[in-house]
């Protein structure tokens, strides 16, 4: 579903124009930051309690459901008021309210899905997880022949969110029975006290990822925000690989909490799993990044070049995460959440400061560069904490071999482009085969390991 949505959103951005899409992207990211904490961490807290305490659902849901709904309405007002304070007026403020309403319905639906997950209905939850995106994709495809505008695009997204919410609420009622709304102050206080730590972590990570587009639109221009959005969309899609793989290692690190030798082996193995596939993707963007924007037929060569430069800088940020995101996973899974949160908070503060200084003059390129600088600094903090707080050995030799393989790949790709005029597909196939050889030559992958793996399968 994710690749289809990336392609569809590229078409939408091309059809409605960079000016309009930049404004939409800024509004969306502003609402995403607030919507991510609109329940003040109740979703995560409730899912944990329902899974551990079978009696929690019937006892607390009469309080949780209205509390969650009231918080959603409160945050919708906060969104609109915040938009007004930032200078949005008239029709733009109406779009902000519509986007925010749809996102809050999505967040409420995710909260209801927590009850489905906690009761082990994983197949049902899997279908529900793609339903809203599938509906949005279908509605957008229906809009293409008649013409996409910011208004009908936002309306389609909100309609998909509303339909998914209604369907999910009916499903939860069918699975668990009708839950009466009888809020109790003592229960609400207890829930909020237990959920606020989750809200703080969610806010930090949400701001760290989403604040750039809003600041670019406010401090530079909507067009610059659109260029950044076009590049970041691909980053978001590729990073799904890490967000799929790293939770598996989170559980394994937590299971080996007091066994540092086992954690070290997991880290050294996970380093390769997390890093190797992304090395080739990052090199591809560095040397063939313009291919990501093949759908932008209405954009000028200068606009394509601007988005390509943003993508190249942002994929250097992906490269940093490929090397070091697993260190954050190790830390958060072994009770080092507080120093990690402080690192993320410091990164956000630095990013905001750099944005204020550089965005008015350099726009989207400055936003991408600032993101890269902050990623490098926070990753250095992760490595230091792993050595000094978690006391797990960092695989410096493996990091050097991975870096050597990536450097050799980039040098070979550059040389191939200078010496030949191959079609891009042939060029990528050749460099891909070369990359496999480099992994063996640098010792990142060993023949003995492959033989052992094949024998194990046999």
Q: Higher pLDDT residue, 128 or 324?
A: 324
User: Is the confidence at residue 195, as pLDDT, over 60?
Assistant: yes
Relative orientation angle of helices 396-419 and 301-333, to the nearest 10 degrees: 170
pLDDT tens digits for 205-234? 667 668 899 999 999 999 999 999 999 999
Q: What is the pTM of this model?
A: 0.87
What tokens were used for 348?
A: 């956000």
Determine the Cα angle at 238 with ends 235 and 240, to 5°. Answer: 110
Q: Higher pLDDT residue, 289 or 183?
A: 289
pLDDT of residue 68: 79
Q: Higher pLDDT residue, 438 or 63?
A: 438
What is the mean predicted confidence (pLDDT) over 417-444? Answer: 94
C-alpha 331/C-alpha 388 separation (Å) is: 11
Q: Higher pLDDT residue, 182 or 168?
A: 168
Relative orientation angle of helices 90-118 and 56-85, to the nearest 10 degrees: 160
pLDDT of residue 398: 93
pLDDT of residue 456: 52
Q: Tell me the H-state helices in 119-221.
A: 122-143, 150-176, 185-219
pLDDT of residue 190: 72
Residue 180 is given by DSSP the state P
Q: Higher pLDDT residue, 21 or 254?
A: 21
User: Is the confidence at residue 296, as pLDDT, over 80?
Assistant: yes
What is the mean predicted confidence (pLDDT) over 410-426? Answer: 95
What is the mean predicted confidence (pLDDT) over 99-107? Answer: 89
Residue 40 is given by DSSP the state T
Q: Give me the residue label for tokens 């969610």.
A: 202
Residue 79 · residue 96 · CB < 8 Å: yes
What is the mean predicted confidence (pLDDT) over 92-108? Answer: 91
pLDDT of residue 355: 95
3-state secondary structure of 22: helix
Determine the Cα angle at 180 with ends 175 and 181, to 5°. Answer: 125
pLDDT tens digits for 41-93? 776 666 666 655 666 666 667 777 788 788 888 889 999 999 999 999 999 99
User: Is the confidence at residue 426, as pLDDT, over 80?
Assistant: yes
Burial of 193 (0-12, 13-18, 19+ CB in 10 A): exposed
pLDDT of residue 437: 94
Q: Which of 349-353, 354-358, 450-454 has the lowest mean pLDDT?
A: 450-454
pLDDT of residue 246: 87
* DSSP letter for each residue of 57-114: HHHHHHHHHHHHHHHHHHHHHHHHHHHHHTT--HHHHHHHHHHHHHHHHHHHHHHHHH
pLDDT of residue 388: 84
What is the mean predicted confidence (pLDDT) over 24-43? Answer: 83
User: Is the confidence at residue 384, as pLDDT, over 90?
Assistant: yes
pLDDT of residue 155: 94
What tokens were used for 82?
A: 């915040």
Domain spans of the chain?
1-212, 220-393, 395-458
Confidence of residue 291 (pLDDT cuts 50, 70, 90): very high
User: Is the confidence at residue 432, as pLDDT, over 90?
Assistant: yes
Q: Give me the residue label for tokens 């932008």.
A: 296
User: Is the confidence at residue 458, as pLDDT, over 60?
Assistant: no
User: Is the confidence at residue 179, as pLDDT, over 80?
Assistant: no
User: Is the confidence at residue 192, as pLDDT, over 90?
Assistant: no
Determine the Cα angle at 420 with ends 417 and 424, to 5°. Answer: 60
- Cα-to-chain-centroid distance, residue 83: 23
Mean pLDDT over the full length of the chain = 86
The CA-atom distances, in angstroms, between 186 and each of 64, 210, 429 are 12, 35, 63
pLDDT of residue 390: 79
Name the region of 445 (left: φ>0; alpha: ψ -120 to 50; beta: rest). beta
């Amino acid at each position: 579903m994710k690749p289809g949505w990336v392609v569809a959103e590229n078409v939408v951005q091309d059809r409605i124009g960079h000016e309009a899409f930049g404004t939409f992207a800024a509004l969306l990211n502003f609402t995403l930051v607030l919507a991510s904490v609109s329940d003040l961490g109740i979703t995560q807290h409730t899912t944990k309690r329902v899974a551990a305490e079978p009696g929690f659902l019937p006892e607390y849901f009469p309080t949780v459901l209205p509390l969650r709904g009231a918080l959603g309405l409160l945050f919708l007002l906060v969104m609109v008021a915040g938009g007004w304070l930032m200078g949005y007026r008239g029709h733009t403020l109406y779009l902000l309210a519509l986007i925010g309403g749809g996102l809050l319905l999505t967040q409420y639906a995710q909260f209801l899905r927590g009850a489905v997950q906690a009761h082990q209905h994983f197949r049902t939850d899997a279908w529900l997880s793609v339903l809203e995106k599938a509906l949005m994709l279908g509605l957008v495809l229906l809009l293409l022949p008649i013409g996409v505008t910011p208004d009908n695009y936002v309306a389609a997204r909100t309609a998909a969110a509303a339909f998914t919410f209604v369907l999910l609420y009916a499903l939860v009622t069918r699975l668990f029975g009708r839950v009466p709304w009888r809020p109790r102050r003592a229960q609400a206080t207890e829930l909020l006290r237990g959920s606020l730590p989750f809200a703080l972590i969610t806010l930090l990570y949400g701001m760290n990822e989403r604040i750039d587009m809003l600041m670019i639109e406010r401090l530079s221009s909507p067009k610059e925000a659109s260029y950044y959005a076009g590049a970041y969309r691909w980053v978001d899609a590729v990073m799904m690989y890490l967000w799929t793989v790293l939770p598996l290692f989170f559980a394994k690190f937590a299971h080996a909490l007091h066994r540092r030798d086992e954690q070290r082996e997991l880290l050294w193995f996970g380093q390769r799993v997390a890093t190797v596939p992304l090395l080739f993707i990052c090199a591809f963007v560095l040397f063939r990044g313009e291919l990501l924007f093949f759908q932008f037929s209405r954009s000028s060569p200068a606009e394509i070049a601007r988005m390509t430069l943003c993508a190249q800088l942002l994929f250097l940020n992906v490269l940093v995460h490929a090397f070091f995101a697993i260190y954050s996973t190790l830390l958060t899974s072994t009770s080092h959440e507080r120093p990690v949160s402080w690192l993320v908070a410091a990164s956000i503060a630095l990013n905001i400061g750099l944005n204020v200084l550089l965005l008015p003059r350099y726009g989207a390129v400055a936003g991408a560069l600032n993101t890269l600088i902050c990623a490098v600094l926070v990753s250095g903090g992760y490595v230091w904490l792993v050595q000094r707080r978690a006391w797990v050995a960092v695989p410096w030799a493996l990091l050097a071999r991975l870096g050597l393989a990536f450097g050799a790949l980039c040098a070979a790709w550059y040389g191939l482009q200078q010496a030949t005029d191959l079609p891009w597909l042939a060029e990528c196939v050749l460099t891909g085969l070369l990359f496999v050889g480099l992994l063996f030559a640098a010792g990142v992958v060993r023949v003995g390991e492959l033989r052992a793996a094949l024998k194990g399968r046999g």
